[in-house]
Amino acid sequence: RQIQNTHTGLDLSVPEYQEIRGKMMSGHVEYRIVVVTRLAAFKSAKHKPEDVVQFMVSKKYSEIEELYQRLAARYPHTSLPLLPRKVLFVGESDICERRAMFNDIMKVISKDEDLATSPELLEFLGTKSTSAVDFKGCKNIPDDKEKEDEENDALDFFKEEKTSDLISQLSSENAKSGEEKEEEEEEVLDPLGIIRY
């Protein structure tokens, strides 16, 4: 598609998010950032200067927050929209609100010439190097890095068997000490922090 921000050569948007389920009721949300660009930093040697590259990266709240803080510190003259507030437990409406706010932030970044070409943003979006010299072959870096991270997570999941050992240990202790232990265990393991009796 055509680039809307022709002066920066970069369009960023956050059209969707994905909930990633973890072990034992844990997990996180990844916000999908669509990048449409004609910047050389994201192209391989095969691309022509006028070619437009499009790809997507997934980032957690903490990663977007880190980028936001780094940009705000380095470019204090720019007025970025407010960052969504940090809360311990997020519901569906919080996630939708965050996605919309992240979308606004990314749109402002992609319209500002300083921010759109900043080393912080290029690193965040997955270029190999942030030095102006080595910007070859960077198109597929975000996808490759994502796959590598997923493979590492999958390997860690199978290697780490401490969680199941802990559960069996708690179960055997529970059988020994009766109902009082059951109430304590439920308080400790409840992921929402709600105490049930």
Q: Would you say residue 75 lies in a domain? A: yes
Q: Is the pLDDT assigned to residue 160 strictly greater than 90?
A: no
Q: Could you report the per-residue pLDDT of 58-89, keeping only the tens digit for each?
A: 999 999 999 999 999 999 988 999 999 887 77
Look up the domain containing 94 and give its range: 10-125
**Whole-angstrom distance between the N-terminal and C-terminal Cα of the chain?**
57
Q: Would you say residue 79 lies in a domain? A: yes
The CATH number of the domain where 109 resides is what?
Answer: 3.30.1520.10
Q: Would you say residue 3 lies in a domain? A: no
Q: Would you say residue 151 lies in a domain? A: no
How many structural domains are present in the chain? Answer: 1
pTM over 0.85: no
Which pLDDT does position 124 carry in this prediction? 95
Q: Would you say residue 153 lies in a domain? A: no
Q: Would you say residue 33 lies in a domain? A: yes
Mean pLDDT within 135-164: 43
Tell me the DSSP string of the chain. ---S-TTTTEEEEEEEEEEEE-STT-EEEEEEEEEEE--GGG--TTS-TT--EEEEEEEEHHHHHHHHHHHHHH-TTS-PPPPPPP-SS--HHHHHHHHHHHHHHHHHHHH-HHHHT-HHHHHHTT-S--STT--SS-TTHHHHHHHHHHHHHHHHHHH--HHHHHHHHHHHHHHHH-HHHHHHHHHHH-TT-----
Q: Would you say residue 94 lies in a domain? A: yes
